[in-house]
Amino acid sequence: MTISAERPTDTVVPHETPPTPPRIPWAQRPGWMSQHLGTAIVVGFIGYVFGHWLGNYIASGYPYIVNSGQNSIADTLALAFMVVGWLLGVGALNYPLAKLIGREAPAEVEVKGWSKYFRYNTDHKVVGLQYVVGVILFLFTGGLLAMAIRTELLNPTTHVFGPGTYIEIVSEHGTIMMMMATSIVVGPLGNYLVPLMIGSRRMAFPRIEAFSFWIFMAGYAVIFSALPYGGFTTGWTGYAPLQTQNGPGMVSYLLGFAVVGLGMMAAGFNIAATIINYRAPGMTWSRVPIFVWSILATAALLTLATPVLFSAGLFGLLDKTVQTAFYVGEHGGSSYLWENLFWFFGHPEVYIMALPGFGIVGEIMPVFCRKPVFAYKVSAAGMIGVALLSFFVWQHHLFQSGINPDMRPLFMLTTELISIPTGFIFLVGMGTMYRAKIRFEIPMLFAMALFFNFLIGGITGVFLSDVPVNVTVHGGFFVLSHFHYTIMGGLLFAFMAGLYYWLPKMTGRMMNKKIGLWHFWTMFIFFNLTFFPMFIIGLLGQPRRVFTYAKNLQGLNDFSSISAFLLGFSFLIFAANMVWSLWISPQKAPANPWESLGLEWQTATPIPLHNFDRIPVILADPYHYSEENPPAVADLGEDLVVTAASSDSNPS
């Protein structure tokens, strides 16, 4: 028998004084680390009350800034302190505050179980899944408002809402959906997958990554607070001078965009720094996955374009609170300033939403076509080209504004030029599918649907870039339909493709295929039946944001509304699939259910805390599907990682 010389740690030897436990720094004590969603809500409410009191106190000394009984200073400070309280309550500011006062920074504590998803967590995989829930919450809220819009448009004369309430619903719907769409892929899939795909153990700045999620959710709370404040009637674009004429709900709009903008800037900077500096040895730019290329291009747009929106919102808040005149024409300002600042961000924002969708389908299609990416370098160049040109097309949104008509040809040209790199990406997808032995799994179906929808949206976009056509259809349902085809028809279908493809890796559970097929076909069919008739409605003259219309258009509107209700039902099918597959009847996912060569599929499931036991050495790109014996993708330290080629891997 072997006797260990080590004393059990839980045994106290008689006559021996137990050692004095070390003093735990205050920032690391359990009470300090118990911050979570509940404390964030409580401290956020306290911050709201304090900010409102402070605003009233400040305004009491300057009665002239209280406009018609509205104290915008109190409203602004209440929401701003609510955001600060939210971040304090969840623990997002622990580290910088501890450093500022010279204390020991809080130690990283690994929290296990479900509670980690309700806390400030620096694990990129936890943050990614938190974002999944967050964007679904945005989507659900915006979808309910969309159902209210289509309910109102069932009849041109019998109204469910008044005209003021209707435009408030339209404005809130558009704003929530746009805020959600900017992070719908970069937040969940970008944060979760990018470190895995480039062979990194973490993000470059994990605390900034976690901060970006919690401030993203704070922005949701701020913009949603517009409804109890009485809403705003500007539409999601917030044009001045309507901006300064609106009530307290406008403060929620301006501050909400500013808060979400902070999260977007933080996320963009962090992701770009990670991709540039944390790629594993051997991962040259020619081996970077297509999805990572799309996220890098998007991160550049987030970092460079979002500060413009943040500044625009700050100027609007100053006009509302302390009566500056950035956008007030009668006092020397200009409403054109808001339009230019907003769309200088707003058109790159379209590609902030579109590029990650292209990256998802670019990653998925080779797997299910069992072919390499067709013209890989062209695809990557197309994404970078779209990102660069997106900064030169903002003024086509101002064709009807009256700003210097001599500039119209230039911006018409740049708008049409951006269709060239976009076309490159589209043709790469078509080339990948050409003569391929396609496996029609659910992720592939959603990926193919994106190309169908985006083709319609892209063709109609070429028409809208032409000044004479734009003059004719501006402000009508034709533009609305084009926008939904490019964004919802592209981005949302890509997001669903990505969820069905990567959820087995994220959760270790396979989504139910039969329910998934019902979800796909109902979503695809009723999406097109909802929005294609709107092209016709728009050409027949129905304007946007108006709750009454010509009687002869009721049939098309009713058809579109009923289809919209069924489209909404398709999302309930998706929710049912999530509940069924993850909780009611879970089916364990194989280690690599799609037989992908991607590096993210080569790690264990569930993924270890630090992703890889040691940093892998990249040996090849992950797209050698047509080869009978594909080269190893990476050396993970034990065996060379090669996904076994199935019979479907042979050239078709």
pLDDT for 247: 85
DSSP 581: I
Tell me the domains of the chain and their CATH numbers: 28-100 (no CATH), 121-584 (1.20.210.10)
Q: Categorize the per-residue pLDDT at 415 as very low, low, confident or very high, splitting at 50, 70 and 90.
A: confident
pLDDT for 642: 47
Instruction: Report yes or no: 547 and 163 within 8 Å, Cβ to Cβ.
Output: yes
pLDDT for 32: 44
pLDDT for 492: 94
pLDDT for 322: 84
Instruction: Report yes or no: 326 and 316 within 8 Å, Cβ to Cβ.
Output: yes
> Looking at the predicted structure, is the pLDDT value of residue 365 above 90?
yes
- What is the C-alpha separation between 49 and 43, in angstroms, rounded? 10
Q: Categorize the per-residue pLDDT at 650 as very low, low, confident or very high, splitting at 50, 70 and 90.
A: very low
> Looking at the predicted structure, is the pLDDT value of residue 254 above 50?
yes
Averaging pLDDT over each range in 46-50, 229-233, 371-375, which range is the top one?
Answer: 46-50
pLDDT for 613: 85
Q: What is the mean pLDDT of residues 577-588?
A: 94
* Helical segments of 225-289, H only: 242-245, 249-277
pLDDT digits (tens, 9 = 90+) for 603-620: 888 898 889 988 999 999
Q: Categorize the per-residue pLDDT at 637 as very low, low, confident or very high, splitting at 50, 70 and 90.
A: confident
Q: What is the mean pLDDT of residues 308-323?
A: 90
Edge-to-edge strand order for the sheet containing 617-618? Answer: 617-618, 634-635, 640-641
pLDDT for 30: 42
Q: What is the mean pLDDT of residues 98-107?
A: 79
Higher pLDDT, 64 or 192: 192
Higher pLDDT, 11 or 340: 340
Q: What is the mean pLDDT of residues 20-38?
A: 55
- Cα–Cα distances in angstroms (integers) from residue 473 to residues 339, 407, 463, in the given order: 19, 20, 10
- What is the C-alpha separation between 344 and 415, in angstroms, rounded? 13
Residues with Cβ within 8 Å of residue 93, at least 6 apart in sequence: 84, 87
> Looking at the predicted structure, is the pLDDT value of residue 69 above 60?
no
Q: Categorize the per-residue pLDDT at 60 as very low, low, confident or very high, splitting at 50, 70 and 90.
A: confident
Q: Categorize the per-residue pLDDT at 106 as very low, low, confident or very high, splitting at 50, 70 and 90.
A: low
> Looking at the predicted structure, is the pLDDT value of residue 583 above 70?
yes
> Looking at the predicted structure, is the pLDDT value of residue 648 above 60?
no
Q: Categorize the per-residue pLDDT at 638 as very low, low, confident or very high, splitting at 50, 70 and 90.
A: low
What does pLDDT average to over the chain?
A: 88
Token reading at 216:
């993203």
pLDDT for 401: 83
pLDDT digits (tens, 9 = 90+) for 132-143: 999 999 999 999
> Looking at the predicted structure, is the pLDDT value of residue 521 above 80?
yes
Q: What is the mean pLDDT of residues 219-242?
A: 91
Lowest mean pLDDT among 315-319, 330-334, 526-530, 591-595: 330-334
Percent of the chain with pLDDT over 70: 90
Token reading at 143:
């979808």
The three-state secondary structure class of 260 is: helix
pLDDT for 66: 63
pLDDT for 108: 63
DSSP string, 121-148: ---HHHHHHHHHHHHHHHHHHHHHHHHH
> Looking at the predicted structure, is the pLDDT value of residue 105 above 80?
no
DSSP string, 10-78: T---TT-PPPPPPPPPGGGSHHHHT--HHHHHHHHHHHHHHHHHHHHHHHHT-GGGSBTTB-HHHHHHH
Among the listed residues 522, 450, 520, the one whose alpha carbon sits nearest the alpha carbon of residue 488: 450
Lowest mean pLDDT among 32-36, 411-415, 573-577: 32-36
Q: Categorize the per-residue pLDDT at 405 as very low, low, confident or very high, splitting at 50, 70 and 90.
A: confident
Element housing 486 (H / E) = helix 477-486
Q: What is the dihedral of CA 332, 338, 339, 343, to 10 degrees?
A: 150
Intra-chain end-to-end CA distance of the chain, in Å: 64
Instruction: Report yes or no: 352 and 263 within 8 Å, Cβ to Cβ.
Output: no
> Looking at the predicted structure, is the pLDDT value of residue 651 above 70?
no
